[in-house]
Amino acid sequence: MMITMPKYIESKILLVIEFVVVNSLYLLSIITYYRIIYNGPGSPLDYPQLRLNNSENPFDSNHQPAQKPPEFMTIHTLKLNQGFRYCNKCKCWKPDRTHHCSSSGKCILKMDHYCPWFSTCIGFFNYKFFIQFLSYVAIYSWIILGITIYIIYNLLVTEKYKDEYLTINLILLCVISFTFALAVVFFVCFSLYLVSKNLSTIEFQEQRWNYRGGNVYEFDRNGKQKRLANIFDLGVRENFKQVFGDSILEWILPIDINYKIANAGFKNGINFKVNEDVYKRWCENAELQNQLNDQLAEYKNRVRREREEYVV
């Protein structure tokens, strides 16, 4: 690109601007690429407190953990009535939004997906850098596409093609930048949409297909079923701050905002802020479900007793 462009750009000022902007984006892309790999997604195994004891069998006779989860995990965990989650394979506690990745062979904090291009998972600690990388590449591709189209258009309009040939490098650069611009911008838009909703790709798919009970429902006064909102959705602005940080520099530059420290509040991939209104409705829904289950159990027991009495 730096060999092909200067041949067609006559303005030195425009050439300097192009050099600074394009190379800055290229440098940021390289930095975020390596930060995705270096930081990693994060795992409960990174926290010794989340590991079950090191004995050969950390589970009791009922296949339940023989020890209780640490307080810094349970204080904000959405336990409801399902109990605290743990992983039999990793032998560790699983905080909210944690999933076991078969490709990585371990549990991943706020797992989004496994990316073969980086040969690693995208999770809590590298999710920001992943989106920034896509954004840098998309902007880089669109700028290169715009410059190459302008150069080709200028050559055709001014009829300079009669005196000089269009190099194959310029044509290839235009085609490749067009391909990347279209492909990557789609992933950027989808990723930013998920950030605005505070959803990971896995959570999005679970809600869409109701996989593993991803949807939670409530009933209105007319008995009509209604899906409850995402409990982690705090509003668009707050959702973006959760991923990118509080300042403009943190949004634009690859600055790390999270810490692999157990007591780091909501910046460790273990604890997450929740929408209190939605959480309240989740709890009410869970209590109603428990009441319904108790009533069904009581009804079955009554029917069973009546049948036994009838047989006697």
Nearest-5° angle of CA 264, CA 270, CA 276?
Answer: 95
- Amino acid in the structure at residue 83: G
Which residue has tokens 């920034």? 132
In angstroms, how far is CA 184 from the centroid of its own chain? Answer: 16
Contact 231, 223 (CB under 8 A): no
Active-site residue, from 87, 90, 101, 115: 115
Contact 102, 89 (CB under 8 A): no
Looking at the DSSP bridge assignments, the partners of residue 107 are 100
Q: How far apart are CA 279 and CA 290, in angstroms?
A: 16
Q: How far apart are CA 105 and CA 271, in angstroms?
A: 23
Q: How do 99-101 and 92-94 pair as beta strands?
A: unpaired
Q: How do 217-219 and 225-227 pair as beta strands?
A: antiparallel
Residue 283 annotated among the catalytic residues of the structure: no
Q: Which residues are catalytic?
A: 115
